[in-house]
A and B are shown apart, each in its own frame.
Chain A
Amino acid sequence: MITVTDLTKRYARTTAVDHISFSVNKGDIVGFLGPNGAGKTTTMRMLTCFFPPTSGKATVAGFDVFDQSIEVRRRIGYLPEAPPLYLEMETIEYLRFVGRLKGLSGADLEKRVTYVCDRCAIADVKMKLLGKLSKGYRQRVGLAQAIIHNPDVLILDEPTAGLDPKQINETRDLIKSLAGDHTIILSTHILPEVEQTCERVIIINKGKLVATDSVQNLQARARGAESVLIEVAPRTGSLAAPTAQQRLEKIAGVSRVQLKEERGQGSVFEVESDKGKLVRGDLARAIVEAGWDLNELRPSAMSLEEVFLQLTGSDAAATPEAAPSTDAPAPEAEA
């Protein structure tokens, strides 16, 4: 549905997006992940034809964003970081305007307006001025305008930014419910959001593509191996953690043992093993043979947060200064 090849955007002095390539299949929900200033908004703006790329190519539904920009725009719904609302308009009036702008008219338009009002739960504020709506409602009206013309592709820039936890959940559920009909790209710097809503992740940092994969694969890939958490306790007395660690390291297939915490008499270790070698049985046997108790053994999934930090490097927090502030609501250059 979306193919991006070597997409680059250079500003006067900085390169906001640097040779990014990825593709998104029909019906996917893809999370676009990166710290502030990583180039997420810039990439989205190129996909939505807000501005052209400096070099590289991107196609949406088979149409080039530069050469066939009007065709692309017909097929995308875009929710910028700040919902593009005319605050002096009523909700319904605004939706009709956007609908007409996207090519709807007559009975078709009215049908879609009613549909998106129901879908986004904004029917009760139909007649209110947009300027009087709360942040949560504004966000939903923003989503409603993005889907009004039933676009193939939905591009959402930080759809949950600035909402309270309840609104965040509602918005996430709404986005998930839209997934069947549309291909969705949503950007965020909140990791749990990706884990909860997205099937695939594209991670970028400082304008460069860091990783693109499914959420599960990414978690696995980051360690290149299976890892398990075990809690070992001695039958009597206390366990010398170093001794236990040495013992565990001797087991065939184990590549790394790390002491996580000492819990009362016992200790918790994280044991990593090479890919494809299941060492859980060996681990259990070794522990029992050593005369210890195995209190717990569970696979440890690495949270996306750890993957993210590992992939983007520990200097992720320092990027906002280095990269241009492409995430500001409307950073048009002042003349």
Chain B
Amino acid sequence: MRNIWIICRRELSSYFTSPIAWLLLTMYSVIFGFIFWNFVAEFIKQGMEMEMMGQASPMNINEQVIRPLLGTSSFLGLFVVPLISMRLFAEEKRNGTIELLATSPVRDIEIILGKWFAATVLYCWIILYASISFVFLFRFGNPDWKPMLVTLLGVFLQGAALLAIGTFISTLTKNQIIAGALTFGACLLLWVFSWVSSYDSSTWAQVMSYMSVITHFDSFDRGVLSTKDAIYYLSVIFVGLFFTARSMESLRWRS
């Protein structure tokens, strides 16, 4: 436990001393802020139009602003995840610092958990930092906070799952660009797998659709806390980290 924390802390401080963390925070906030502004502006315009026409159809800030916004958030995660995870092992392999970690009295699984945990913390930090915008909605409106938290949890779980896959891919190469590109490809593939269900209902299509990270985001997106989907994300995390451990072991046997 102590070792996991030591490694996690170093990873985090390395994210913040190199410009990666700041760059991601800035870019994400700018893009998220822009989208936030878009949705809110549209919401206000629609509200004013309705008032002018004298229609009083119900408007819902949760449905019309927060939900699409967090949906976009989960989409933006696809771009953020490879940038966070690509360096985890690839950089250590290139610099030779992996020899320090692998010859220290620390178990492989502690190294892996520490690194993955640091990546997840950074990811959550970026999402939360951008979510400061929501404070304005609570200040000037009256949204329901419970479904919002559930959707946020979905965004975190999806990110953590993709980061576990990214961690595994990072152990395969010492080239960060290759690790990043492969992770991005994997993320995108797990995203588009959900599309098959719209025109095909064969078993294969169902399997592919089940594998997609976005299929399982639906319930979180609607503000429903579904154990089934949470278990999907947790198992992706488990499988990703399991493969990372095997990959590190094979690194020891083969290298």
Any B CB within 8 A of the CB of A100: yes
Any B CB within 8 A of the CB of A80: yes
Is there contact, CB below 8 Å, between B173 and A334?
A: yes
Interchain CB contact (< 8 A) of A52 among B95, B97, B100, B252: B252
Is there contact, CB below 8 Å, between A51 and B95?
A: no
Residues of A within 8 A of B93 (CB): 330, 332
Residues of B within 8 A of A89 (CB): 10, 13-14, 17
Is there contact, CB below 8 Å, between A98 and B100?
A: yes
Question: In the docked arrangement, what's the CA distance between A78 and B103, Å?
Answer: 8
Question: In the docked arrangement, what's the CA distance between A35 and B106, Å?
Answer: 33
Is there contact, CB below 8 Å, between B95 and A86?
A: yes
Question: In the docked arrangement, what's the CA distance between A71 and B102, Å?
Answer: 13
Q: How far is the CB of B90 from chain A (nearest CB, A)?
A: 10
Nearest-CB residue, chain A, relative to B251: A332
Any A CB within 8 A of the CB of B203: no
Is there contact, CB below 8 Å, between A50 and B99?
A: yes
Is there contact, CB below 8 Å, between A332 and B95?
A: no
Nearest-CB residue, chain A, relative to B106: A101
Any A CB within 8 A of the CB of B58: no
Question: In the docked arrangement, what's the CA distance between A51 and B173, Å?
Answer: 18
Question: In the docked arrangement, what's the CA distance between A82 and B98, Å?
Answer: 11
Is there contact, CB below 8 Å, between A88 and B14?
A: yes
Q: How far is the CB of B245 from chain A (nearest CB, A)?
A: 15
Any B CB within 8 A of the CB of A224: no
Is there contact, CB below 8 Å, between A101 and B6?
A: yes
Residues of B within 8 A of A97 (CB): 6, 10
Nearest-CB residue, chain B, relative to A69: B105
Question: In the docked arrangement, what's the CA distance between A205 and B98, Å?
Answer: 27
Residues of A within 8 A of B146 (CB): none
Interchain CB contact (< 8 A) of A102 among B17, B104, B251: B104
Any B CB within 8 A of the CB of A333: yes
Any A CB within 8 A of the CB of B254: yes
Q: How far is the CB of B185 from chain A (nearest CB, A)?
A: 15
Count of residues in A whose CB is under 8 Å from the partner chain: 38
Q: How far is the CB of A101 from chain B (nearest CB, A)?
A: 5
Is there contact, CB below 8 Å, between B95 and A88?
A: no
Is there contact, CB below 8 Å, between B96 and A330?
A: yes
Question: In the docked arrangement, what's the CA distance between A85 and B102, Å?
Answer: 14
Question: In the docked arrangement, what's the CA distance between A71 and B175, Å?
Answer: 32
Is there contact, CB below 8 Å, between A73 and B103?
A: yes
Is there contact, CB below 8 Å, between A51 and B105?
A: no
Q: Would you give the 0/1 interface string for B101-115, flagging 1 where the beta carbon is closer than 8 Å to chain A?
A: 111111100000000
Nearest-CB residue, chain B, relative to A90: B17
Q: How far is the CB of A129 from chain B (nearest CB, A)?
A: 9
Residues of B within 8 A of A192 (CB): none
Residues of B within 8 A of A85 (CB): 95, 97
Question: In the docked arrangement, what's the CA distance between A118 and B247, Å?
Answer: 40
Any A CB within 8 A of the CB of B246: no
Any B CB within 8 A of the CB of A103: yes
Interchain CB contact (< 8 A) of A86 among B14, B107, B175: B14
Any A CB within 8 A of the CB of B255: yes
Any A CB within 8 A of the CB of B172: yes
Also in contact, A333 and B14, with CB within 8 A (given A84-B97, A101-B3, A101-B106): no
Any B CB within 8 A of the CB of A17: no
Any A CB within 8 A of the CB of B222: no
Any B CB within 8 A of the CB of A76: yes
Any B CB within 8 A of the CB of A74: yes
Also in contact, A74 and B105, with CB within 8 A (given A88-B18, A101-B6): yes
Question: In the docked arrangement, what's the CA distance between A174 and B72, Å?
Answer: 58
Q: How far is the CB of B182 from chain A (nearest CB, A)?
A: 10
Q: Would you give the 0/1 interface string for B167-204, flagging 1 where the beta carbon is closer than 8 Å to chain A?
A: 00000111100000000000000000000000000000
Q: How far is the CB of A135 from chain B (nearest CB, A)?
A: 14
Interchain CB contact (< 8 A) of B254 among A45, A103, A145, A333: A333
Q: Would you give the 0/1 interface string for A217-244, flagging 1 where the beta carbon is closer than 8 Å to chain B?
A: 0000000000000000000000000000
Is there contact, CB below 8 Å, between A330 and B174?
A: yes
Any A CB within 8 A of the CB of B94: yes
Residues of B within 8 A of A190 (CB): none
Is there contact, CB below 8 Å, between A86 and B173?
A: no
Any B CB within 8 A of the CB of A48: yes
Any A CB within 8 A of the CB of B253: yes
Residues of A within 8 A of B18 (CB): 88
Known pairs A80-B96, A86-B97, A100-B6; list 13 more (Cβ under 8 Å). A45-B99, A70-B105, A82-B95, A84-B96, A86-B10, A87-B95, A89-B14, A97-B10, A98-B100, A101-B106, A145-B100, A330-B95, A334-B174
* Ranked 10 nearest A-B pairs via Cβ: A84-B100, A335-B172, A73-B105, A84-B97, A48-B103, A330-B96, A51-B252, A74-B105, A82-B96, A332-B255
21 A-B contact pairs sorted by A residue (CB < 8 Å): A49-B102, A51-B252, A51-B253, A52-B253, A80-B96, A84-B96, A85-B97, A86-B14, A88-B17, A98-B100, A100-B6, A101-B3, A101-B7, A101-B106, A102-B105, A330-B94, A330-B95, A332-B93, A333-B255, A334-B173, A334-B174
